[in-house]
Amino acid sequence: MECWSNGCTIMDNEKKTVLELRDISKIYKTRSSFFGPGGEQVVALNRISLTIYKGEIFGLVGESGSGKTTAGRLIVGLENPKEGEIYLNSTEISGLKGRALKEYRRKVQMIFQDPYQSLNPQLSIYESVAEPLIIHKIGGGVERLERVIQTLKTVGLSPPQEFLYRYPHQLSGGQRQRVAIARAMVLGPEFVVADEPTSMLDASYSAQIFNILLNVRDKLKVTILFITHNLAAARYLCDRVGVIYKGNLMELGPADEVIQNPKHPYTQALIDAIPKFGHCGEIREYKTFLRPQRKASEGVGCPFFKRCRKADETRCRIDVPPLRAVEDSHYAACFFAEPGHEKRPESDACLLGI
């Protein structure tokens, strides 16, 4: 397929790693409460490894509770992983302190989900966007103003002078989110985590935000981790996607490839769940989602076993399928994804016994 956007494909030979996650795990413990003892462990991320290349938009796709937001928070350093390392340009980040940590925070920025909550209502747009510059002691009064104006232009708030002294309540949701993007971009970051930046917005504003992200990537050469539950948005925006389920990376590959030719039953279930009408052409139905769910013992076997219609009673119940290459740069963590292991979903009649 031809690519319509400039620079949306990165040739293999120019791939340069910006960010690397190595075997990242994050476990939350529930607090003891009035009613119960607490101390239960919730695995938010389970040994995730990822490499993100310079200038790409990488999509992390999954349902709520899958751990995708946790991954974003670990990357920007809002939380620390229990195990594993995160590298930015080959520097491990957990050891950073003082000035180096502050510099890391300048280089790695985050765009939050809800622009109705992420902007301080008492600050004007200028104050909001200039605040990061003040914190990092960049520029003087005039230079700051210029940078703010420039950034507002980049995110499509024009003429910028009209927005500088307005307050968030005077803006629409789409405009607020653009201010939030400007706030992340004003420091000239290398890496930006965008956590579901359009899920609180109307569908008609989403396209604006997508195009702005594509635009800042091309213009400012930032690398973006785009966290979403919407596969169609991921297809539009991302070069590569990773599909995550209950903290486990299930599938990883070029966005178009993963969406047109998904290998993991969970990815297939996600595609089945998208409303079909209005998408041009026929969409294949995979029917891999199992209802009602199977019984399974916790902690062993494939994470998707309970919900997977394709699953094998003996193998998938006990063994965890590793993430393996099924094609060039397309990986899936499923025993049936590998060539020669295609298996038809069990018929409903077989499932009644489960």
Partner 1 sequence: MALLEVKKLSVGYNTKKGFLKAVEAVSFSLDEGRSLGFVGESGCGKTTLGMALMGLLPPNGHVTDGQIIFEGEDLLEKSEDEMRKFRWRKISMIFQAAMNALNPVKRVQDQIAEAILTHNPNLETKEALRRVEKLFQLVGLPEGRMRDYPHQYSGGMKQRAIIAMALSCNPRLIIADEPTTALDVIVQHQILEETRDLQKELDLSIIFISHDISIVADVCDTIGIMYAGQLVEYGSREEVFDDPMHYYTRALISSYPTLTGEKRELLPIPGESPNLIEPPLGCRFCDRCHASGDSCSIGPPEWVDITPTHKALCGLCLK
119 or 238: CB nearest partner 1: 238
Q: Hey, how many other C-beta atoms are within 10 angstroms of the C-beta on 284?
A: 11
Report, in Å, the least distance between residue 35 CB and partner 1: 11
CA distance 115 to 113: 7
For the purposes of burial, counting CB atoms within 10 Å of the CB of 59, is it exposed (0-12), middle (13-18) or buried (19 or more)?
buried
221 or 284: CB nearest partner 1: 284
Report, in Å, the least distance between residue 156 CB and partner 1: 9
193 or 271: CB nearest partner 1: 271
Give long-range contacts, CB 8 A cutoff, 24+ apart: 96-104. Answer: 101/77, 102/136, 104/77
Report, in Å, the least distance between residue 143 CB and partner 1: 31
CB of 18 closer than 8 Å to CB of 88: yes
82 or 229: CB nearest partner 1: 229
b/e string for 312-339 if b means 16 or more Cβ within 10 A?
Answer: beeebbeeebebeebeeebbbbbbbbee
Report, in Å, the least distance between residue 337 CB and partner 1: 20
Report, in Å, the least distance between residue 175 CB and partner 1: 8
276 or 324: CB nearest partner 1: 276
Sequence-ordered alpha helix ranges (H) in 247-314 = 255-260, 265-272
Report, in Å, the least distance between residue 202 CB and partner 1: 4
C-alpha 303, offset from chain centre: 20
Read off the amino acid at residue 65: G
Which residue, 109, 126, 127, 115, is CA-closest to 174? Answer: 115
> Which residues sit at the interface with partner 1, rule CB under 8 A?
1, 3-5, 63-64, 172-173, 175, 202-208, 210-211, 229-233, 235-236, 256, 259-260, 269-283, 289, 291
53 or 236: CB nearest partner 1: 236
